[in-house]
Amino acid sequence: LGGRALAAGVFELPPPHAAWQLHVAAADGGGWALSAELARPEALAAAEARARSLQERLDMVQEFSDTGVFERDAATMAGTWDRHMYRIWGLPAPAAGAADMPSPAYAEVLEMIFSEDRREGEFVASLATPGPHTQRLRMRRRDGQVRHLYTRWKVFHDAQGRPQRVLGTNTDDTDVYELANRAERLRTELDVALKLGHIALWRHDLASDRVFVDERGCAALGIAWNAEGVPPAVARSQLHPDDLQLVLNSLEHTLRTGEPSDMELRYHRPDGGWRHVLMRRALQRDGAGNPLGFVGVMLDVTERVEDNRRALASARRLEAAAEAARLGLWSVQLDAALPRWNPRMYALLGLDAQAGPLPLRDWLRQCVHPDDRARVRASLADWWRRGPGEAEIEFRIVRQSDGAVRWLVVRGKLDAVGPRLAMRAEGVALDITEQQRTMRQLRETVERMTLTTHALGLGTWTATKGQDGGVWDAQMFRLRGIESLGRRVSAAEIASYLHPDERAEVMARQALMLREDQPWRHVFRVLWPDGQVRWITSHSVPGYDEQGRPDGRIGVNWDSTEAQLSAQAVREREVAVAESQAKSQAMSRISHELRTPLNAMLGFTQLLRAGGERTDAATRAHWLAHAEDAGQHLLALIDDVLELSRAEVGELRLEHQPVACAAVADAALPLVAASAQALGLALQRGPLPGCVMADPVRLRQVLINLLSNAIKYNRPGGEVRLWSQAAGARVSLHVADTGQGIAPERLQHAFEPFNRLGAESSGVEGSGIGLSIVKVLVEHMGGQVEARSQPGVGSEFIVHLPAAGPDDLAAAPAAGPATAPAVTPAATPRTCVLYIEDNPVNAMLVESILAHRPGVTLELAEDGLSGLRRARQLQPDLMLVDMQLPDIDGLAVLRGLRAHPLTAAIRCVALSANATPSDIAAARAAGFIDYWTKPIDVQRFLADIDTLLAAP
């Protein structure tokens, strides 16, 4: 009223009191009269709506933040809980829907709190202090769940300072607490992974221009560790001079484009050698996008580089041996739909390599000769049933390309690498048609011999090493005056037919012959039952098993008057045995080349399985590295042979574009510099004018092959020179060396596969396939390759390619700064991926990989039809589809998805072991957004998954 006299007034109170109006008026006698009345009904309704809205908002905030509100009387500890408190504590609410409900007894609540967090009396003691209080605690619900709570409460006192009531909240922050713990575990695991992987971290601060390297990185760079960082010049003090430009180019590229850049650098070692370090640089920016510095990782790959160099040499030897022997390589897993073949297998069977390998059932039906099919099927079934071990099968095939009947021998080894369904067999296949033809001719010769022996009185016998006596035919008995069918005879019986005067000598010589495994020719006398003495000539040779080991003897006896005819027959048999022995030795050498890397793979795998937890992590990692290197060795061999095969049949994929000679030379020379330096050779870069139309990757491969040969076959202290010449529509690239040169009669064979031009005995490792690949690549790029050489002076190889014209240069994409790659956000918790795969091992592998993406839910279907049903139920964000399924194939699955409105828009990726270009092209043409091949590269798989799931 403010001391001012008013005749009358009306006050409207703000919400929530707006339903009432207060009237003030001057009363008679100088006083004031007050009266109140209920406001208009519409005002009351508005106030109630406002209150409901506020209550709904408060309830939503509590729901989303997992927060409940409680109140207790400070004296009695009785109080009220809202429904959120009952939900958080996992207790049934006494009155569903009520805003405030009686709370459980304080003692009951206290019993649910972990004893170490309980601190009895703390809550009661806080009542003495008015104001806010907080506490973190753990409690166990009645259903066994453990939850983490953040409790906050405020104590209210009356005017006399006595506690009246407590008002507070409980917030369930279990998820936040567990995420924090998980982040800490991940940080610890990262530190351990960096240490075990010998990975170092570094940072280059642009403001201070100092480089900060951790202790592992300092050891790799050969510098002392400094917590305050070092200038860039110090960090590069042990860098190979030829690699400095790589570092500067990397710095400029990443600073200009924002893209990460990789380098393989060499640093001086105290022992005089070079340490190979793989380094990645990435740009660090502030919130405004301004560059702050570089961050990166480094990995010492010295051992890997040296192992790769040795593996490459071994791969070339294996490559030459396999191709020279026309050897087919194959492998198959029991639970896999298709085997794996090298190109020679397709050639042996007369099949198109582009169509891919055949399943076992189709292979038996299409390729195996009908008369041998049942036997081969039974032999394979018996082999799988027996389990791990080796097997060999000889059978006929009908070559699909021309219908020719050929003989194959298939040798393999079955290994158990896990469950029985995961057993794996691998081995070789060899066309032995010529051997079979020779053996047939030999059998025909033997049949003719049998007729001859029957007519001329020639007997045959065999003896097995370690067994008594041998097996005689009927003629052997006739030569001793006895009528008997062919049968086994003992040593004592053999001796009984000998003349008594020679019995001891002949038997002693025979025993010596069996021990020494030497051919034996001897003439001795036998005594017939009627008293006749006959002269017998015996000639025998040792026999050999499949591994070339002596296992017995085979021989003949004949009357001395038939010596000439018998000698001829024996010589024919000796020729056949010698040929068989030579082929066995060749197979032994090929087996050695194949088994060398396989020995490492299988040996270390068995050690890992046998060692279990007794083997420390470093040893397991070391063994796995050796096994991986051996596998990469075999893979590199197969890739090189496949590349030559693809080139020969015109399947190379080339991207012709303008390529500057200087640019491709700068890309190739650093890759061979270390080899040249190791041999003390000068690597000279001459003028490199001109720009050619070529595939830049293939052209670099051509130069690397030519430069590597020039270095490898050079003389100590020699020189290798690279230059180019541009003349009209052609540009020529020249690689010259100062080696021993090649004789003219051999130079014409320089580009023949596996022809080393007499360098086999030089001590220089090689396979003779490199120049063949060079020739094929150059010709596919529209050029020719020329070889010149002068013995004692050196050799020069010239690559002639079409020059890039003005139109080509104008059409080439202009180089410009690339945009920084977008950061792929993590998948949301509702992301669903459906994987259709009938192979449980493959499904388990993808499931284990996607376990690294907690926000991704993986659903599985074991065949195409069930996958279509699951897709309609789940409507996933992404589908992975195997192309070989037991009911319908992957293309049929895609057609079924597109035909249904619920699944028509689902994105699908083909995930298959079929890796032929035709398979990939067919899948993409059908509508698959991508085609991923097995075996899976885990890191790339996760990166591709993140990219696809982040895309709208």
User: Is residue 934 packed enough to be buried (19+ CB in 10 Å), middle (13-18) or exposed (0-12)?
Assistant: middle
Per residue in 641-670, pLDDT (tens digit) is 556 565 655 666 778 899 999 999 998 888
pLDDT confidence of residue 561: 46
- Tell me how far CA of residue 85 lies from CA of 9, 62, 100, in angstroms: 47, 10, 10
Q: Helix, strand, or coil here: 213?
A: strand
Which of 277-291, 430-444, 506-520, 918-932 is predicted with the least confidence, judged by mean pLDDT? 506-520
- Tell me how far CA of residue 870 lies from CA of 853, 884, 885, in angstroms: 22, 18, 16
pLDDT band at 40 (very low <50, low <70, confident <90, very high): low
Average pLDDT over residues 149-154: 92
pLDDT confidence of residue 35: 61
35 forms bridges with which residues in the sheet? 23
d(CA 560, CA 572): 19
pLDDT confidence of residue 582: 39
Which of 424-428, 446-450, 653-657, 861-865 is predicted with the least confidence, judged by mean pLDDT? 446-450
Which of 621-630, 636-645, 826-835, 836-845 is predicted with the least confidence, judged by mean pLDDT? 636-645
Lookup result for tokens 């020069």: 796
- What's the DSSP call for residue 326? T
Lookup result for tokens 């001079």: 241
Ranges 622-626, 628-632, 658-662, most confident: 658-662
Per residue in 220-252, pLDDT (tens digit) is 888 999 989 999 999 899 999 999 999 999 999
Residue 306, H or E segment: helix 302-324
Q: Please, which residues have CB within 8 angstroms of residue 66's CB and are 6 or more apart in sequence?
A: 84, 88, 171, 172, 173
User: Is residue 91 packed enough to be buried (19+ CB in 10 Å), middle (13-18) or exposed (0-12)?
Assistant: middle
Q: What angle in degrees, to the nearest 10, is found between the helix axes of 174-196 and 617-648?
A: 70
Which backbone phi and psi does 112 adopt, to 5 degrees?
-80, -15
Q: Name the percent of the chain in helix, strand, coil, to the closest 5.
A: 45, 25, 30
pLDDT confidence of residue 818: 35
Per residue in 316-325, pLDDT (tens digit) is 776 677 667 7
pLDDT band at 119 (very low <50, low <70, confident <90, very high): low
Taking each continuous run of H as one helix and of E as one strand, the counts in the chain are 29, 37
- What's the DSSP call for residue 17? S
d(CA 218, CA 840): 46
Per residue in 789-825, pLDDT (tens digit) is 988 889 999 999 999 887 767 665 544 333 333 334 4
Does residue 569 surpass a pLDDT of 70? no
- Tell me how far CA of residue 378 lies from CA of 373, 617, 661, in angstroms: 9, 44, 60
- Beta strand 878-881 pairing with 831-836: parallel
Residue 343 in contact with residue 645, Cβ under 8 Å? Answer: yes
Q: What is the amino acid identity at position 558?
A: W
Residue 465 in contact with residue 550, Cβ under 8 Å? Answer: yes
Q: Which of 300, 519, 328 is nearest to 427 (CA)?
A: 328
Average pLDDT over residues 115-134: 83
pLDDT band at 70 (very low <50, low <70, confident <90, very high): very high
Give the mean pLDDT of the chain: 81
- What's the DSSP call for residue 337? S
Q: Which of 396, 392, 391, 379 is nearest to 433 (CA)?
A: 396
- Cα-Cα-Cα-Cα torsion 541, 547, 549, 553, nearest 10 degrees, comes to -30
Average pLDDT over residues 845-859: 91
Residue 404 in contact with residue 570, Cβ under 8 Å? Answer: no
Q: Which of 885, 895, 883 is nearest to 927 (CA)?
A: 895
Does residue 39 surpass a pLDDT of 80? no
Exposure class string for 251-264: b at 16+ Cβ within 10 A, else e: bebbeebbebbebe
Per residue in 27-36, pLDDT (tens digit) is 555 555 666 5
Residue 63 in contact with residue 84, Cβ under 8 Å? Answer: yes
Per residue in 671-722, pLDDT (tens digit) is 888 888 888 999 999 999 999 999 998 898 899 889 988 998 888 889 999 9
- What's the DSSP call for residue 421? G
pLDDT band at 828 (very low <50, low <70, confident <90, very high): very low
Q: Which of 409, 413, 430 is nearest to 347 (CA)?
A: 430
Instruction: Quote the tokens at residue 473.
Output: 């035919």
306 forms bridges with which residues in the sheet? none
d(CA 147, CA 172): 7
Per residue in 461-478, pLDDT (tens digit) is 888 888 888 999 988 898
Which backbone phi and psi does 506 adopt, to 5 degrees?
-65, -45
Per residue in 879-920, pLDDT (tens digit) is 999 998 989 999 999 999 999 999 999 999 999 887 777 788
Average pLDDT over residues 399-403: 93
Per residue in 241-293, pLDDT (tens digit) is 999 999 999 999 999 998 999 999 999 988 888 989 999 999 999 888 899 99
Which of 115-119, 269-273, 754-758, 882-886 is predicted with the least confidence, judged by mean pLDDT? 754-758
Instruction: Quote the tokens at residue 664.
Output: 């491709």
Q: Helix, strand, or coil here: 532?
A: coil
% the chain with pLDDT above 70: 80
Per residue in 182-226, pLDDT (tens digit) is 877 877 777 776 777 778 889 999 999 999 998 888 988 889 999
- Tell me how far CA of residue 530 lies from CA of 474, 489, 533, 581, 855, in angstroms: 18, 21, 9, 43, 100
655 forms bridges with which residues in the sheet? none
User: Is residue 52 packed enough to be buried (19+ CB in 10 Å), middle (13-18) or exposed (0-12)?
Assistant: exposed
pLDDT band at 571 (very low <50, low <70, confident <90, very high): low
User: Is residue 424 packed enough to be buried (19+ CB in 10 Å), middle (13-18) or exposed (0-12)?
Assistant: middle
pLDDT confidence of residue 819: 36
Instruction: Quote the tokens at residue 403.
Output: 């219908």
Does residue 580 surpass a pLDDT of 90? no
The alpha carbon of residue 647 and the mean position of all alpha carbons in its chain are separated, in whole angstroms, by 25
Per residue in 521-560, pLDDT (tens digit) is 888 888 989 988 888 888 888 888 777 788 888 888 887 7
Q: Please, which residues have CB within 8 angstroms of residue 612's CB and are 6 or more apart in sequence?
A: none
Q: What angle in degrees, to the nearest 10, is found between the helix axes of 770-780 and 617-648?
A: 50
Does residue 370 surpass a pLDDT of 90? yes
pLDDT confidence of residue 267: 92
Which backbone phi and psi does 529 adopt, to 5 degrees?
-60, -30
pLDDT band at 760 (very low <50, low <70, confident <90, very high): low
d(CA 932, CA 913): 9
Residue 16 in contact with residue 52, Cβ under 8 Å? Answer: no
- Tell me how far CA of residue 936 lies from CA of 431, 843, 876, 941, in angstroms: 33, 12, 22, 7
Please give the full DSSP string across 742-809, using - where no structure is assigned: --HHHHTTTTSTT--TTGGGSS----S-HHHHHHHHHHHTT-EEEEEEETTTEEEEEEEEEBP-HHHH
Which backbone phi and psi does 56 adopt, to 5 degrees?
-65, -40
Q: At CB < 8 A and 24+ separation, what contacts does 668-676 make? A: 668/700, 668/703, 668/704, 668/707, 669/707, 669/722, 670/242, 670/243, 670/246, 671/704, 672/704, 672/707, 672/708, 672/711, 673/242, 674/266, 674/274, 675/708, 675/711, 675/712, 676/711, 676/720
pLDDT confidence of residue 447: 72
pLDDT confidence of residue 822: 37
Residue 661 in contact with residue 685, Cβ under 8 Å? Answer: no
Residue 782 in contact with residue 799, Cβ under 8 Å? Answer: no
Q: Which of 208, 289, 295, 223 is nearest to 260 (CA)?
A: 295
Which of 513-517, 697-701, 873-877 is predicted with the least confidence, judged by mean pLDDT? 513-517
Which backbone phi and psi does 655 adopt, to 5 degrees?
-115, 95
d(CA 635, CA 647): 18
pLDDT confidence of residue 578: 53
The alpha carbon of residue 106 and the mean position of all alpha carbons in its chain are separated, in whole angstroms, by 60
d(CA 52, CA 156): 27
Using alpha carbons only, what angle is made at residue 681 by residues 680 and 685, rounded to the nearest 5 degrees?
145
d(CA 123, CA 424): 67
Average pLDDT over residues 946-950: 90
Does residue 584 surpass a pLDDT of 50? no
